[in-house]
Amino acid sequence: MTVNAAHVITQDYITLSQPLAEGVLLMDRTDRKLKLVHSLGELQPLHRYTTEYGNSLVRRVKHKAVLADSIEIDVLTDEVDFDKQLEKSAIADHSGTLQLAQRQATYRAFSSFGKMDELSTEYEGSVTGTEIDDGTSIAGAMFNGQRLEEAAALQRLDQLTSRLVEMEEWFSSVKSEAASERQIREQATARLELLQERLERLQTQLAAETSENQLLRAKLEQLERAEPEALLTRAKPHALGTI
């Protein structure tokens, strides 16, 4: 599992674990409809939903919903009447796997223990021609179901722990990247200020040299005008002495 996948699963878990006062949009893949759900108790039994992040959500038992095929979320209400809807869907099932009486007995026996899905699957694979109402079979199935639940809970706890570790690593990497980018920005700002200071100094030096150049040109022009006059002044006494 990637860090991004763990991140979006965590976002869905946080959202669905809280009261859905404003509702949340879910895509019902079974009915192929987009639904606004205000409580997990509105989820239809065994319908497969998809969250806005693309994670699956299935209500397999009355008081539990499974996110991303691995994380259980408590269902505190039952607006759709889980047992009744489940019985209706079983009656409407024409696959021929179970007879009508066996379906009704199966759902009545296991819905109260919240383990209908796991035990009914076990029943379909192993029981042929026997009644599910047998007390010994139910007790043994319940015991095995409880042990399976504990093992699954421990496994999911390990998965959540590993995901939390991945998230912490991801957050640490993001923080280090942010610190590095901040340091780069600070260095760039300092260099820009230094270049600006140098530019101002160069502009000041250029203005001073321009002023000095103008003074030198003015002096040069004065010398150029004064030189012929000096030559004439020197030439006049020499001419008078000759006469």
Bridge-partner residues for 25, per DSSP?
Answer: 36
- Residue 113 confidence (pLDDT) above 70: no
pLDDT digits (tens, 9 = 90+) for 124-153: 454 444 444 555 555 555 556 666 777 778
- Out of 21-35, 36-50, 68-82, 159-173, which region has the weakest mean confidence (pLDDT)? 159-173
The more confidently predicted of residues 113 and 29 is 29
Token pair belonging to 60: 């397999």
What is the DSSP code (8-state) at residue 40?
G
Strand ranges of the sheet holding 24-28, from the earlier edge strand across to the other edge = 33-37, 24-28, 48-50, 56-61, 64-67, 71-74
pLDDT digits (tens, 9 = 90+) for 49-101: 999 888 999 998 999 999 998 899 999 988 998 888 887 777 666 555 544 44
User: In 3D, which of 53, 44, 40, 42 has the Cα closest to residue 7?
Assistant: 53
120, amino acid identity: S
Most distant CA pair in the chain, distance: 161
Confidence of residue 224 (pLDDT cuts 50, 70, 90): confident
pLDDT digits (tens, 9 = 90+) for 179-218: 888 888 888 888 888 888 889 999 999 999 999 999 998 8
Cα distances from 108 to residues 84, 90, 101, 138, in angstroms, run 10, 12, 11, 12
- Residue 102 confidence (pLDDT) above 50: no
Token pair belonging to 77: 């209400």
Token pair belonging to 72: 């259980």
- Residue 240 confidence (pLDDT) above 70: no
CB contact set of 115 (below 8 Å; sequence gap of 6+): 61, 141, 142, 145, 149
pTM of the model: 0.40
**CA pair distance 23, 20, nearest whole angstrom:** 5
CB 51, CB 26: distance < 8 Å: yes
Token pair belonging to 197: 């200071």
Match 């010398």 to its residue by tokens.
Answer: 223
The Cα angle at residue 141 between residues 137 and 143, in degrees rounded to 5: 120
- Residue 40 confidence (pLDDT) above 90: yes
User: In 3D, which of 14, 51, 9 has the Cα closest to residue 29?
Assistant: 51
Q: Residue 118's pLDDT is what? A: 52
Residue boundaries of the structural domains of the chain? 1-80
- Out of 34-43, 113-122, 204-213, which region has the weakest mean confidence (pLDDT)? 113-122
Bridge-partner residues for 34, per DSSP?
Answer: 27
